Amino acid sequence: MKKILIIGAGGQIGSELTMRLRSVYGNENVVATDMRDCPMLAANGPFVQLNALDGEAYAEVVKKYKIDAIYNLVALLSAVGEANPQKAWQINMGALMNSLEIAREYNCALFTPSSIGAFGPNSPKVKTPQDTVMRPTTIYGVCKVTGELLGDYYHKRFGVDTRSVRFPGLISNVTLPGGGTTDYAVEIYYDAVKKGSYVCPIPSDVYMDMMYMPDALDACIQIMEADPSKLVHRNSFNVTSMSFTPEMLYAELRKAMPGFTMTYDVDPVKESIARSWPDSLDDTCAREEWGWKPKWDMKSMTEDMLRAVREKKE
């Protein structure tokens, strides 16, 4: 059975991806790592406290567990990255470069997510194509485009099996995201259940692509299992499940909670980032090359999020 390593496993994607990968490949075959101690991840499988910027310690873990595939999930997100661009570059690129070099040296496949943040104001806004202008205006986006290019380079130059998808905003109910521009679409459910109201930092009319976490986990596993001979693209595939504005999500929530109210207190940094990103992605290439097909839409996701957040509250 394949041995898998997850870097940054304590974050929004990693905490759920670890559990999903363990259910597919066996608990003992999925090694979770994070800077912080993560008792939940250590409870049912191997866990190592690891700073991904420490290349030697990282390589030791890969050697010790005879790793075949790495999921590199270390990243400072878009809004928090703008508060400290130097730190964002150091962390995002440091973890990526170590991952690429270790994948090269120890012959591992490597998954690193890219993002809608890799696009910028010059990219076509609606149905943004797979291959198009990419001139992001955030440090997060600059790191993502650089990461995509490095993934291609390591594949062509050294034969490293690098793979990636461009994630939209991810909505989940296990671990909260931190410092992203799309975080409002998660916070809204928690505040709706806890307070009956939400103050939204994104203007009412701004469209962004979104995806429910179960679809994102499927994408991570499917792209890594995809037949390489069918992949025309590698770094990185557009994937999306839905595209909506805050006002549309508000209307959907009010169907289930008619008393819920939402007001706006727009955060100018998040507004300018959100307006520089696509309204909607065209994910035809992912569908054609490796069978990507999301299962969740805004309605089914909202029902499931409210159920899960209410259960947590009890």
By CB under 6 A, residue 169 contacts ligand AKB: yes
Q: How far is the CB of 227 from ligand AKB (least distance, A)?
A: 27
* The residue type at 276: S
Q: Which of 6, 7, 73, 77 binds ligand AKB (CB under 6 A)?
A: 77
Q: How far is the CB of 117 from ligand AKB (least distance, A)?
A: 5
By CB under 6 A, residue 139 contacts ligand AKB: no
Residue closest to 76 by CA, chosen among 134, 16, 11: 11
Cβ-based nearer residue to ligand AKB, 79 or 109: 79
Q: Which of 72, 112, 130, 181 binds ligand AKB (CB under 6 A)?
A: 181
Report how far residue 200's alpha carbon sits from residue 247's, in angstroms, rounded to the nearest whole number. Answer: 10
CB contact at 8 A, 150 and 92: no
Judged by CB under 6 A, the stretch of 149-157, 165-173, 229-237, 256-264 that binds ligand AKB is: 165-173
Q: Which of 140, 207, 212, 250 is catalytic?
A: 140
Q: How far is the CB of 222 from ligand AKB (least distance, A)?
A: 19
Sheet containing 165-167: give its strands across.
114-115, 165-167, 237-238
Q: How far is the CB of 115 from ligand AKB (least distance, A)?
A: 3
Residue closest to 170 by CA, chosen among 299, 11, 32, 287: 11
Residue keyed to tokens 């790495």? 70
CB contact at 8 A, 196 and 260: yes
Q: How far is the CB of 166 from ligand AKB (least distance, A)?
A: 8
By CB under 6 A, residue 236 contacts ligand AKB: no
By CB under 6 A, residue 180 contacts ligand AKB: yes
Residues in the interface with ligand AKB (CB under 6 A) total 13
CB contact at 8 A, 33 and 25: no
Burial of 190 by CB count in 10 Å (0-12 exposed, 13-18 middle, 19+ buried)?
middle
> Is position 58 annotated as part of the catalytic site?
no
Query: For residue 62, what are its two tokens?
Result: 């890969």
Within positions 182 to 201, which residues make up the interface with ligand AKB, using CB under 6 A? 182
By CB under 6 A, residue 243 contacts ligand AKB: no
By CB under 6 A, residue 73 contacts ligand AKB: no
**Residues for the chain: how many in total?**
314
Please give the radius of gyration of the chain, using alpha carbons only, rounded to the nearest integer: 19
Count Cα atoms within 13 angstroms, Cβ side, for 253: 25
By CB under 6 A, residue 116 contacts ligand AKB: yes
| Chain positions contacting ligand AKB, by CB under 6 A | 77-78, 115-117, 140, 167-169, 177, 180-182
* Residue numbers annotated as active site: 140
